Amino acid sequence: MNRYTPGNRITLLRNGGEYFPALVAAIERAEREVWLETYIYADDEAGRNVTEALTRAAGRGCTVRVLVDGWGARHYLTRAIEHDFERAGVALLMYRPEIAPWQFRSHRLRRLHRKLCHVDGRIAFVGGINIIDDMNTPGQRPPRVDFAVQVEGPMLTSIVQTMQRVWALNELVQFRRSEVPLFPSPTHGQRAGAQTAKFVIRDNVRHRRDIERAYLAAIRTAKREILIANSYFFPGIRFRRALIAAAQRGVKVRLVLQARVEYALLHFASRALYGQLLAAGIEIQEYRRSFLHAKVAVIDDHWATVGSSNIDPYSLLMAREANVFVRDPYFSDQLRIELVRLIEEGARPVRPQHWALRPRVYKALLWISYGVVRVAMGLLGYGGNEWFRSGGAPRAARSERGDG
């Protein structure tokens, strides 16, 4: 799962406008089985189109399994869709369904955040796009920005195995009889293209830091450019040091981050790190045109990643995530063109001189938010000082309080 394999065909899918037609078309061609995992499954136009394709596949005799997160789907998945699945014979399973606010446990933050689908073990989809329409956000006019990839080739083996294993584990812990083996036999995917790639997951057992390590390996060897677009960017000490070291050795480091406020506490806490990053010469572009939900990056002219993992404590310390990492100049160039277009059409740079002149009240709000997140993570037992401590952050804090 952590090795690059040649012979893949990786197709970039931009937003739901490209993703959902490709996903539905693949499901319509299913002959044996369809497996789908998602954090959110909404009863809107996109969700109904996928539901109809899944139920038709089940009607043709295909085995169809849908795994949704118990927290992410609770406000979106309707009884109507559940009834449609039940009538068609689609197996629906919830990941950690035990959501009760009066019985909170820290382990319940370990959610299924990845977005995966495979059809007949011959084609798969990996990315950050939930089963929800791009426009399904209150007060939003331009569509939500997100990416996914369509995958064919030997990398399918890892995708099929992890989906089987997670399904079997959930049936086991929910005391259900399972026809899915907990340790599935390995398969061998057929060569489909000329791209080298690997599929990487994050879980709470053997692959706790695999996605973070894949990022860090690429950042530490970058020679010319690092371009990251991430909706929730709150990196830990290792990640910040790697980015700063890259900038100090002359690499152009650009971050495309969310400008709109979705989760206020994390929004302000992440901005407490801006001073440190800007002082190191890292360029920050805040995307303002619509909601940025992307979790992608391009490094130099040959390395790229698309997936579900944000660069924050939730994704890198708690949730189940999945990313595809690609070593291919053509794919990297495609993704880079999209990110540069986002910057040119909808982003605004954060100027170091303007950042230093922010009101004292705003600066205080940032560091209070940062402190609250740090304490909360410590109390929940995730990350602790290893995630937050930095020789740069305290100095940045003193600088923030002293300037302007």
Give catalytic residues, as residue numbers.
113, 115, 120, 293, 295, 300
Characterise 371 by phi-psi region: left (phi > 0), alpha (psi -120 to 50), beta (else): alpha
Is 311 within 8 Å of 246 (Cβ atoms)? no
Amino acid letter, 364 = A
Q: Scanning the structure block, which residue is given the tokens 């805040």?
A: 286
Distance CA 331, CA 302 (A): 8
Residues 98, 94: Cα–Cα separation, whole Å: 9
Distance set, CA 312 to CA 69, 162, 267, 339, 404 (Å): 19, 23, 11, 20, 29
Query: What DSSP letter does each residue of 169-193 carry, written as one string?
Result: HHHHHTT---SS-SSPPP--PPP-S
| Residue 107 DSSP label | G
Where do runs of H (alpha helix) occur along 351-391?
A: 352-356, 360-380, 384-388
Handedness of CA 280, 373, 389, 216 (dihedral sign): negative
Q: DSSP secondary structure string, 46-93?
A: HHHHHHHHHHHHHHTT-EEEEEEETTTTTTT--HHHHHHHHHHT-EEE
Residue 375, both tokens: 């304490």
**DSSP code of residue 222:** -
194 Cβ contact list (under 8 Å, min separation 6):
6, 7, 9
Q: Quote the tokens at residue 24.
A: 């539905």
H or E element: which one contains 269? helix 264-271
Strand partners, 268: none
Between the two ends of the chain, the Cα-to-Cα distance in Å is 50
Question: Residue 122 corresponds to which tokens in the numbers above?
Answer: 């011959």
Give CA–CA dist 377/375, Å, rounded.
5
Count the alpha carbons within 13 Å of 121 in the hemisphere toward its beta carbon.
Answer: 14
